[in-house]
Amino acid sequence: MELLDTPTRQFALSQQELESFRTNGFIGPFTLYSPEEMREHWKRARLRLLDRSAAVYQDLDAISGATNIANYDRHLDDDFLADHITRPEICERVASILGPDLLCWRSEFFPKYPGDEGTDWHQADTFANASGTPQILWPEHEEFGGTITVWTAFTDATLDNGALQFIPGTQNSMNYDETKRMKYDPEQATGVLKDGTRRGFFGYDYRELQIDRDWKPDESKAQSMVMQAGQFIVFWSTLMHASHPHNGKSQEMRMGFASRYVPSMVKVYPDTDYVEEYGGKISLERYGAVQVAGDHVPAYNSRIATHTTRGKPFKRN
Ligand SMILES: O=C(O)CCC(=O)C(=O)O
């Protein structure tokens, strides 16, 4: 008898891991590259990415200074990042949570240089937080959705240079209302920590979105995610998360690379052709979500990239 060719899911989460994920809202870290391998990849990528000639967002006037936007979606033009977001070690784990049909709809670099503020506490559901327009929308019967973020440490992430922080178990209720508006001011920080370092949200005061103005996150429950270069961690964007500041004890920057995944039924950038946030505006004309697993994408998600802008096909799990 011929055996059916069922794909092996070597990296799928075990029942125990899934239970832990459901309780805590995150799982990991997992090792994808050795620290040496990662340092080598990052050394080369860092130089390569300076060349934006094939990047999908070209309107440099609109994005100069808006560093967050300039850091978006370089997996759409860079070979290493294109492979990274489709790695089975990542996608199989994410598929265990979200199901077999997966889109990677966004990637972002999160650099922290010596002296940089820590990222303030936040949760994201539709990602209308900064732009005012939902960037992802789950089907109507879902109360709220969010995305699975896979945050890969491209350098070591330590307590001194900006390790992530999570408050476990907070992913199922939103403390922020993303339909409220925040004012953008690139100079503003939103708090000074005991050691004199600052917290902020890339020019926004995330507290402006709080549903209850008097509420404060319970930082006594926060856990720090110290990670080696080459490791990744998987979490709900609706989990309360933040990061430590870079206190300048070392001159090395911290670099995190976030790739964000949703089931293909989630509407990506519905009814909009632009993203306007962090003081910049980009056109989605050359944008496409990447189908990293499965074979079904509803017609309403018509912006799909099958190849990078340099012609490399994306792998599908
Ligand atoms: O790396 C950081 O400081 C923040 C990351 C973050 O908020 C995210 O990946 O959603």
Q: If the chain, 317 residues long, is cut into consecutive pieces of 10 residues, what is the mean pLDDT of each piece?
A: 60 97 98 98 96 87 67 97 98 97 97 93 91 90 86 98 98 92 74 66 86 94 98 98 96 97 97 87 94 97 98 97
Q: How far is the CA of 162 from the centre of ligand 1 (A)?
A: 10
Cα–Cα–Cα angle for 122, 126, 132, rounded to 5 degrees: 90
Q: Which atom of ligand 1 is nearest to 237's Cα? A: 10
Taking CA atoms, 282 is separated from 109, 216, 301, in Å, by 17, 34, 19
Give the model's pLDDT for residue 188: 64
Where do the DSSP E strands lie in the chain? 26-31, 102-112, 118-119, 136-137, 148-153, 164-167, 191-192, 198-200, 223-225, 231-236, 240-243, 254-263, 267-268, 274-277, 280-283, 290-293
Where does ligand 1 bind, in terms of residues with CB under 6 Å? 110, 119, 149, 151, 237, 241, 243, 256, 258
As a whole number of angstroms, the distance between CA 185 and CA 153 comes to 28
Give the model's pLDDT for residue 182: 84
Atom 1 of ligand 1: nearest residue by CA position? 110
Q: How far is the CA of 101 from the centre of ligand 1 (A)?
A: 24
Give the model's pLDDT for residue 65: 60
What 3-state DSSP class applies to 7? coil
Residue with tokens 């620290």: 35
Give the model's pLDDT for residue 1: 43
